[in-house]
Chains A and B, each alone.
Chain A
Amino acid sequence: MTTIYLDNNATTQAAPEVLKEMLPYFHELYGNPSSMHYFGGQVGRRVREARERVAALIGAEAEEIIFTSCGTESDNTAIRSALATYPGKRHIVTSRVEHPAINALVARLANEGYRVTELAVDGEGRLDLEQFRRSLTPDTAIASLMWANNETGVIFPVEHAAAMARSKGVLFHTDAVQAVGKIPIDMRKNSIDMLSLSGHKLHAPKGVGALYVRKGTRFSPFLIGGHQEKSRRGGTENVPSIIGLGMACDLAYHKMDTENTWVKYLRDKLEDTLLAGVPNCRVNGDRVHRLPNTTNISFEFVEGEAILLRLNELGICASSGSACTSGSLQPSHVLRAMGVPFTMAHGSIRLSLSIYNTEQEIDYVIENFPPIIKELRALSPYWEVGDAICATAEG
């Protein structure tokens, strides 16, 4: 059975070009970039080049890029750095729909005595910027808002938010793990102080990420150790992955148009056809301000895990915000924050595409998805009621 991978917000395949670029640095060119000899020095040059490539993708300068092990490390580093460099400030502003890398961290910081404001979102997953402005106080050490939501793809106006934070003298961080490589980002045109990105979300391997820290921003390292990354992050560089990340950023830079035209076309085709072909379903989140590759659809009266496992039988990989898949007993915190009704939240499915998906794959999903919902609804004790609703809606 062939795999149709529509779970690219969870992770992506390493691009073939990325893998090829990485391979020599495991066995042949295994030198330490910090070494004084040529054998290590040549590796150091490739790490420098990778830094330039990452910087180029987001319109940054190479020195503003710190390589880390993942998006979570970047997020933790940014928040802890802000708190360490502004020790008098005890307030953090974030949103209710952040990734656990921020969400769980601020929950812990709240236990450590920090005051945390988690901004609400509306039914479409949108932020109220005025509310954001009002939440910033002289005591606020950092505001952190994700650029794009991993579950719904909804894009926050982080550049506006960063400008507001700047005017109030508050550091601004964004978790851009889902945004980098999918939508154009230019750090020269905004006042975001720190930005997290992750390799494996943009066709680099797992285990590598980066933190952008704007020049002049106060910084305190998270991992204390050697002089790597100009003493901003101790630990020998993950050379092959860093080189892979550089290549992936280069590819993303050149394929940004494909992402926003072809991938978007496939996503829209998939979404529109499913919405038209399946009664009682809806898209979760703002459909306008959204990543081009993501759709999150709720199917009423059926449960997400059951849908996923039926899709799995067909080789289709997706994910769900239902309780049974969230590892807890409640639906995803994002859908709950958006006030998605329970009838819908438990039956939510996220489909996230990449440039490697083909139209044939999307057509296959379009053909095979609706019967799964129909079959599961035939099992559902609530569906007869829903049937009537749908008959009225269509009639």
Chain B
Amino acid sequence: MWEYSDKVKEHFLKPRNVGEVENPDGVAMVGSMACGDALRLTFKLDENKRIKEARFKTFGCASAIAAASALTEMIKGMSVEEAAKVTNQDIANYLGGLPQEKIHCSVMGREALEAAIANYKGIPLAEAEGKIICECFGVTEPEIERVVRENDLKTVEEVTNYTKAGGGCGGCHEAIQEIIDRVRAEARPVTKPKLTNIQKIRMIEETIEREIRPSLQHDGGDIELIDVLGDRVLVATRGACATCQAAHLTLKDFVEVKLRELVWPELVVEEVSQ
């Protein structure tokens, strides 16, 4: 049995925005019955060119349904330009993560979104026109190049998890490996990828839980995350820390250093009294 997050289960059991938007501005159908999953996405813009309504229909497993449901929730209120920046990783993060073998469900969501935006703009998709590498699942060279580049994939197995390519007869494994080698050989600027707010907050929470609180609790202290405003991390001290004269040093020298190291180099930790 797959280890699905509670969020995946929730979106699977109570999917949001099922159906079709009437007179849609953008529409797309990706996947196929033969592949085992398919997604039909429609959206409508309001007078400010923001997505007013997005609806889906999915043929597929629990995570495919959950990913589509999540996607429609995520893009509501976005401009087309903002929506175009949504990645498969954003969808997976929104759902609290997906099992590796199910990442392709989030990729399908991103593909549907792109195709719907292309449909809205009236332009053809580069991915759809490339050379087909995986005959079993109809996956093209540009699609594979893209997931390898965006997700820093290293192995054929990972590419299969993301796109299904190579998951059938296995005849294209060599071709996929060549694409991986080629893309990875390209010189890439070493900038840290930009975090979305959701990602940033989640990582801060995780780092505090996993790396910081155990140390503080060991000394009888504790902290609580109150809020995140941009790069400002607002925390309250608890336990021994609340009365300790050196607590501000701990916050700067330990908490902030850890968060900068593990989450984002520009974070600033501030204490708030609560």
Contacts and interface: CB of A to CB of B under 8 A. Distances in A.
Contact of B167 (A304, A305, A325, A330): A330
Interface residues of A, number: 25
B61 A313 contact: no
A358 interface: no
Given A329-B164, A329-B168, A382-B33, A305 B61 contact: yes
Interface string B1-42: 010000001001101001000000000010001101111100
The B interface, classified by DSSP as helix, strand, loop or mixed, is: mixed
B: contact size bracket? 20 to 34
Interface in A293-349: 301-306, 309-310, 313, 322-325, 328-331, 342-343, 346
Nearest to B40: A381
B57 A309 contact: no
Contact of A328 (B12, B29, B34, B167): B167
A306 B61 contact: yes
Contacts of B60: 303, 306, 324
Which of the listed residues B9, B29, B40, B59 has the most CB atoms from chain A within 10 Å of its own CB? B59
B13 A313 contact: yes
Contact of A301 (B39, B40, B59, B167): B59
Nearest to A300: B33
Contacts of A380: 57-59
Contact of B65 (A322, A330, A379): A379
Contacts of B15: 379
A319 to B, nearest CB: 11
A175 B148 CA distance: 43
A381 B12 contact: no
Contacts of A389: none
A330 B58 contact: no
Contacts of B58: 379-381
Contacts of B13: 310, 313
B233 to A, nearest CB: 38
A346 B37 CA distance: 9
A109 to B, nearest CB: 19
Interface of B: 2, 9, 12-13, 15, 18, 29, 33-34, 36-40, 57-62, 64-65, 136-137, 160, 164, 167-168
Given A313-B13, A324-B37, A342-B34, 6 more contacts: A306-B61, A329-B36, A342-B36, A379-B57, A379-B59, A381-B59
